[in-house]
Every structure is written in structure tokens, then in C-alpha cells.
Amino acid sequence: MLSQRAMNSFVGLFVLTAILGLIILAFKVSGLTSFLKPAGYDISAAFEDIGSLKVRSPVKIGGVVVGEVSTIKLDPTSFKAVVIMHIDSHYRDIPDDSSISILTAGLLGDNYLAINPMYNQTYLKNGSEIQDTHPAMILEKLIGQLIYKLSNPAAPNTATASTTKTSETNNANHE
């Protein structure tokens, strides 16, 4: 039979192991496991509107996570949001003419960046900037535009008005 002292030692060791396991689990769930920056390179892109994009949001190509957002800042001259992304070193062959979009995971999910590779044979490297950017579609803005158009049916659409005038002119010329 184990002595009281040995039993207390085993219980203490079990409690310490459980606490250590919970700490590791908390770091894994929160995404704070990487205290050091993983190997890779940084690229940037400037957007008119980033919606609710956050630091540590994923960067994906074809649905595969290739990196994450490391910094978001405002350019003081153009007043655009500059997003700096850290791309994993495994993905070095991303063409430099690629485009990047801010998309939403599901209808009301978090935003993420989606890189759409193009066809250049030169690739993004540390410090590169993606020029072709597509801002986030903000659901509130889209609903506001829809409500405005529904509440103002008398306001003519400029494309429809010019087409109607052209048709009337052509009909008058033929008569």
C-alpha cells in the first residue's frame, strides 16, 4: 500500500499535469501558440474598405490557408487601409499579378482574404504589394442601397433613361 506522502505526490502531479494541459489547450484554441513568427514573407495590399477584417484573419488561395493578416494600418495620404499579410514559406510561387479580395465566410461570418492567382512567371516576394484589390462587400451598405432604390421608384435609372431616349429618336427618324 502506498504511503500518505506518495499518494499526495501523485495527486499533486496529476493536478499539475491537468493545469498544464488546460494552458496548452487555451493557447491552441486562442491561436497564440506561435510566439515566434513562422518562416515566410510579408506582402501588402491597399483597400478602399476592409469591413470587419481583423489581424490574424486567414489568407486563402482556393480555400487553403496560406497565411494570415499581420498588420492593418491607414495610409495617411490616400486614406486607404493597408493590410500586411504574412505568407507561409511553403507558398513561394504566387504570381505577382494576382488579385486579392476580402470575402465573408458564410452570410454573417468573419472576413478573410482570398488571393486569386493569375499567370505571371514572376512571383511575390518579401515587401511586394498586390495592386489589384477588391474591397469587402458591406451587408449594411447593400441593404441601404436596396431600400433607397425601393423607396424611390420614380427616380429614373440613367441607363434606362438614355436607352429610352435613343429608341424614341430612332423611331422618329424612321417615320
Which comes out higher in pLDDT, residue 159 or 86? 86
Position 25 pLDDT exceeds 90? no
How far is residue 169's CA from residue 94's CA, in Å, rounded to a whole number?
Answer: 52
Indicate the range of 26-35, 51-60, 68-77 predicted with least confidence: 26-35
Q: Is residue 78 part of a domain?
A: yes
Predicted confidence at residue 35, as pLDDT, reads: 58
Q: What would the grid cell of residue 62 be?
A: 482556393
Q: Is residue 12 part of a domain?
A: no
Find residue 107's DSSP bridge partners.
none
Position 155 pLDDT exceeds 80? no
Q: Is residue 144 part of a domain?
A: no
Looking at the structure of the chain, the number of domains it has is 1
Q: Which domain holds residue 101?
A: 40-138
Global pTM exceeds 0.75: no
Q: Tell me what the mean pLDDT of segment 104-126 comes to.
A: 89
Within 8 A by CB and 6+ apart from 103, the residues are: 111, 112, 113, 114, 136
Q: Is residue 97 part of a domain?
A: yes
Q: Is residue 126 part of a domain?
A: yes
Most confident of 77-91, 132-146, 156-170: 77-91
Indicate the range of 28-32, 70-74, 89-93 predicted with least confidence: 28-32
Most confident of 37-51, 73-87, 107-121: 73-87
Which comes out higher in pLDDT, residue 33 or 168? 33
| Per-residue CA distances from 12 to 1, 62, 73, 76, 131 (Å) | 18, 48, 48, 56, 58
Q: Is residue 175 part of a domain?
A: no
Averaged pLDDT of the chain: 84
